[in-house]
Chain A
């Protein structure tokens, strides 16, 4: 088996990448002194993959909204029972999640690592769907959707995405709707499964307390070689402009919640790393707690501790989002735009740049302090075609000019939208 050791000279860490004979990429990071082990098994398939075909299909298929998430739920059931019942015997705490661009299955355990791993690998590589079990899941997920419908933070976020994006499936709810999941049947689930749950489209990362050889033995035992699969995903044409500049919804909340986003031109794989590091430094310098903007907003009572920023990067989409609670969201946006324009005209303040860079470096080191965040970082970096430590190397070398360039490229004042969830009148 072909393998490569990946090292960070800056923080003195390392992990190993294996190209397993089954076609699966395996990333292993044993961590000295830790008691727990975290495994994350992910496929490059999320809620935005709604239209696709493989080399075996004549035509593209458009699947119901929420099917990737539905499939995630159904993977826990096999002919010989429920995976939770199997995990109960090892003590591992198991879960799964579906996001826009991936579906991932995880467990965290302090004992019985290899038994738990076997359960995980078998569960994800063995589809088993029946009409009856699909019907049962429609009731459970129906309640999950209702739960999100009552969640103002979730609503303000999806309303923003619907304002920012005109056609892209980021507009759709990850879990779908009651109507869309009613269209799901076992045949559609098998089609999605057979397309995306191909080991060549997947990655397994394990961090913490384990023995590499024993992990590989379990992989050898369970994983069968995957056939070549050429997945063709079709996304609608997405303009750089936004769908709507403002969107609001009334809700049972005490104070308005807002999310204010800038639509960013998509990154190519080659430019993604540098641009995203420069973008994050810029966001911290612009709107972090040490920034003049933050102080101004806070002292005027326009924001509270819930204020935050995020550089959101999905497979084909990037957005810069500011969120929080405010009695006057529009005023907050105006202040952000003012501060941005100042940076665009004069460049970022040198002291603020250095401070934000230091801040960001520390936060990256934090991520390597925790078993779960290590495997997550390995998976994310792999899905974006890089090594987990590239980001630290990039950070050390980033310049003020890189950040100034990002300020122009990633903040087009014309391409912004504000989403507000406000108290019922």
Chain B
């Protein structure tokens, strides 16, 4: 097993965490800026994230960064915008092979930390503005990105369902923001966005790998000394548990296969660890594995679909079930999905089902340390949930959950929205 998480405050509301383990051949460093998900700032924040990835004061353009990455033996560098409950996360990360594989003994890990730190804290701002030409390109790229969400029909349908379900809540704000808000962003206004982000965000720097995190930590400590930090931001999400009236939405597009998505209020979330874990098991039994109720009934028994799966957002406390079906089978699929939930609510859960779900979850948790990415995802998830349990501790907690707890978790689930994406002539 890997070492325990070490997490240290290195500046006001800035934390450096690390996990090191000799099994890896690579080192990964990420820096995550957590901010509130807000209608006004979501779009400029998303744009800022890609601008930081494209150039810096020390790297005049994208080609300069790319050449550096090739020289670091094809190190991966990327940026990502996350939505964690009703918080927006701007993430920059780099992964490189360990120094011992460098053919000319280059100090790859230190170089990677310097690069990441430089891109975040020494941005390409001259005369109070980002590079105008680069900004225009990135604005179009962001618009394209937002518009292209319709290309993947499965994820599009799930997104539409959650947007409709959480209308009026901050959760309905898309992680990349709104395309209508892109044109008005200027090279100057984005500087304000940047200053707000680096001074107010909760910053989580994460190191995972086989090398020592010390040099990387020192680089971040020194760099953040120069930054004036404002008020602390703490993550927050409004969780809704009750449903007044079920919403039914049908959208028509030119598609061959219809998509049905059912959105539920889970009645559980990370604020209550016991309920959250019971919900995790309940969702696995319901529809997250090939031995789940949805897979065995909607797919195998009724032969209605290729996929029918449930997913749980533990930060927002919602549950989504989605499947791809023939348009004419919509009612049949919906009835069966709801019937399987009722089965669990009425206690129709076998010891085998509970045990199999537990085994499947265990399988994932035990492998957390097998990749630097999964370690980071796991522990950031813990930190965002306000806990610091190791995977073994979570497993021990899961083992204490009884069928009755799972049944109660199912009872807390309430249908909120039925979303149906279907062909134009249906």
Residues of A within 8 A of B (CB): 11, 31-36, 82, 84-85, 87-94, 108-111, 136, 139-141, 143-144, 146-147, 149-153, 208, 251-255, 257, 288-290, 292, 294-295, 298-299, 301, 304-305, 325, 355-356, 358-363, 365-366, 368-371, 424
Contacts and interface: CB of A to CB of B under 8 A. Distances in A.
B22 A33 contact: yes
List 8 A-B pairs, minimum CB-CB distance, nearest first.
A362-B73, A91-B359, A33-B23, A110-B366, A362-B74, A139-B303, A88-B291, A254-B147
A32 B23 CA distance: 7
B73 A33 contact: no
Nearest to B101: A365
A88 B289 contact: yes
Nearest to B21: A33
A176 B288 CA distance: 27
A12 to B, nearest CB: 9
B169 interface: no
A38 to B, nearest CB: 10
Given A143-B305, A301-B137, A366-B97, A91 B367 contact: no
A34 B74 contact: no
A257 B144 CA distance: 12
Interface string B348-373: 00001000100110111011011100
Contact of B324 (A147, A152, A355, A369): A147
B114 interface: no
27 contacts: A34-B23, A35-B370, A36-B366, A89-B359, A90-B359, A108-B367, A111-B366, A139-B304, A144-B306, A146-B324, A150-B153, A150-B255, A151-B153, A208-B370, A252-B151, A255-B147, A290-B70, A292-B63, A301-B140, A301-B141, A355-B70, A358-B73, A358-B103, A362-B73, A369-B97, A369-B371, A370-B370
A36 B367 contact: yes
Interface string B61-93: 111001101111111000000000000000000
A288 B66 contact: yes
A39 to B, nearest CB: 13
A289 B62 contact: yes
A306 to B, nearest CB: 8
Contacts of A305: 141, 145
Nearest to A355: B70
Contact of B97 (A33, A356, A362): A362
B253 interface: yes
B136 to A, nearest CB: 8
Contact of B150 (A34, A253, A289, A301): A253
Given A140-B305, A146-B324, A304-B141, A254 B150 contact: yes
A366 B66 CA distance: 18
Nearest to B303: A139
Given A88-B289, A298-B62, A252 B254 contact: yes
B64 to A, nearest CB: 9
Nearest to A289: B66
A325 B148 contact: yes
Contacts of A35: 1, 366-367, 369-370
Contacts of A90: 359
Contact of B303 (A136, A257, A290): A136
B23 to A, nearest CB: 3
A225 B36 CA distance: 63
Contact of B144 (A151, A252, A304, A363): A304
B25 interface: yes
B26 interface: yes
A94 B62 CA distance: 40
Given A91-B360, A365-B73, 16 more contacts: A31-B23, A88-B359, A89-B359, A91-B363, A141-B306, A150-B153, A253-B151, A254-B150, A290-B67, A325-B144, A359-B73, A365-B97, A366-B95, A369-B97, A369-B371, A424-B254
B256 interface: yes
Contacts of A34: 23, 370
Nearest to B133: A299
Given A361-B73, A369-B26, A254 B151 contact: yes
A255 B148 CA distance: 7
Contacts of B153: 150-151, 252
A150 B423 CA distance: 11
A94 B291 CA distance: 11
Given A110-B367, A359-B73, A146 B66 contact: no
B152 interface: yes
Interface in B134-168: 137, 140-141, 144-145, 147-154
B252 to A, nearest CB: 10
B178 interface: no
Nearest to A13: B25
A290 B253 contact: no
B356 A88 contact: yes
B48 to A, nearest CB: 16
A144 B257 CA distance: 9
B335 interface: no
Given A111-B362, A366-B97, A85 B291 contact: yes
A176 to B, nearest CB: 14
B359 A359 contact: no
